[in-house]
Amino acid sequence: MHLSRFPRIRIGHMNTPLEPMPRLSAALGGPNLWIKRDDCTGLATGGNKTRKLEFLIADALEQGADIVITQGATQSNHARQTAAAAAKTGLECLILLEDRTGYTDEAYTRSGNVLLDHILGAPTRTYPGATDMAAAMEEVADELRAKGRKPYVIPGGGSNVIGALGYVNCAIELTAQANDMGLRIDHLVHATGSAGTQAGLVAGLEGMRSGIPVLGIGVRAPKERQEDSVYKLAAATAEHLGIPGAVSRDSVRANCDYVGEGYGLPTDGMIEAVALLARTEGVLLDPVYSGKGMAGLIDLCRKGEFGKGENVVFLHTGGSVGLFGYQGAFADVTPQWNGTGAGN
Ligand SMILES: *Cc1c(COP(=O)(O)O)cnc(C)c1O
């Protein structure tokens, strides 16, 4: 698989580390849990969108764009990384935010990713939940074109065949790391939303016939819909790579039992997962994606889904600055100073 055929700019810190999680593995009684640190891609606190933006921004520059437009939920990590990528490459950036949760507190509407969007120089405009955000972006793009600007529209999550190349790249990187370390990866697990991450991983891993199965833990859509959108994008990405037909439908698996009441709404499992990973490994997850993804992985470990000696890699997709938008959700896990220690 030869990605140098595609335009790419270098804005991420790569390779990201692949590390064992011995204390989490012991706390759960196995399997052997590992973590691929894509929260450490380096761009304005990092995350998975940085890999996608290496290809998307390169395409924007090749097309002569002078401004990028994208959209996401209020606490979108994708919007924040797009604002940073645009700043780094001298493009302007406009962000459309959809209010998917109805939260009105200052922390959610102003702190976390929103604060960083603004510091990075991208103005935001808020739209009510259930707005057709793709249409809203086209409207803004039309207005800009009428004024002589050259807008480049990046879909939500950066999830199209160009963005997915970033996760084909991750599939190649992860496989090479595992080969170097002599690590046999039995399962790869991560949070799946707009589908580009899983689609790129599956296209890359299947295209290389790696034999590494991927499980996406859903954060929004029900299983059927999530698997369909991942499969469609994975198949299109394989075609874009010049290996049409490389992805079979049954290589696309999602478990959407950990969404809770909806996208961006905290669950008990998410809160437990965020606290457990922080307290066993010193790693910060996020409340919307990786926290729910890890909640799923923890539950599957407890149910005995994986063999004791198996090696399971969790892809950490980033987002921890989103924690600052969800201060209230963590009140129940505030540790007590109790005279004999921290009591964790
Ligand atoms: C966007 C995002 C995801 C989901 O990736 P998709 O490619 O949209 O499926 C997972 N984790 C974090 C932290 C994200 O920001």
Residue 47 has pLDDT above 90, yes or no: yes
Mean pLDDT of 124-139: 98
Does ligand 1 come within 6 angstroms of the Cβ of 318? yes
25, 76, 111, 229: which one is catalytic? 76
- pLDDT at position 152 is 99
Does ligand 1 come within 6 angstroms of the Cβ of 196? yes
| 180-192: pLDDT as tens digits | 999 999 999 999 9
Question: Ligand 1 atom closest to Cα of 52?
Answer: 7
Does the bond joining 31 to the residue before it have cis omega, within 30 degrees of 0?
yes
Does ligand 1 come within 6 angstroms of the Cβ of 194? yes
Residue 335 has pLDDT above 70, yes or no: yes
Does ligand 1 come within 6 angstroms of the Cβ of 50? no
Close Cβ partners of 244 (under 8 Å, ≥ 6 residues apart): 235, 238
CA torsion angle for 234, 239, 244, 245 (degrees, to 10)? 20
Q: Which residue out of 159, 217, 258, 317 has the highest number of ligand 1 atoms within 8 Å of its CB and is therefore the one to mutate?
A: 317
Mean pLDDT of 201-208: 98
> Ligand 1 centroid vs 77 CA: distance in angstroms?
8
How many CB atoms neighbour CB 165 within 10 A?
28
Residue 273 has pLDDT above 80, yes or no: yes
- pLDDT at position 1 is 84
Cβ-contact 199, 164 below 8 angstroms: yes
How many CA atoms lie less than 13 Å away from 318 in the CB half-sphere?
Answer: 25
> Ligand 1 centroid vs 294 CA: distance in angstroms?
13
Strand ranges for 185-264 from DSSP E: 187-192, 214-218, 253-255
| 277-316: pLDDT as tens digits | 999 999 999 999 999 999 999 999 999 999 999 999 999 9
d(CA 95, CA 279): 35
- pLDDT at position 339 is 83
Q: Which residue out of 116, 197, 214, 217 has the highest number of ligand 1 atoms within 8 Å of its CB and is therefore the one to mutate?
A: 197
Does ligand 1 come within 6 angstroms of the Cβ of 192? yes
> Ligand 1 centroid vs 219 CA: distance in angstroms?
9
Q: Which amino acid is at 164?
A: A
Does ligand 1 come within 6 angstroms of the Cβ of 191? yes
Question: Ligand 1 atom closest to Cα of 77?
Answer: 15
> Ligand 1 centroid vs 288 CA: distance in angstroms?
9
Cβ-contact 280, 21 below 8 angstroms: yes
Mean pLDDT of 164-184: 98
Q: Which amino acid is at 220?
A: R
Per residue, what are the HEC states of 225-244? Answer: HHHHHHHHHHHHHHHHCCCC
- Is residue 76 among the annotated active site residues? yes
d(CA 122, CA 118): 5
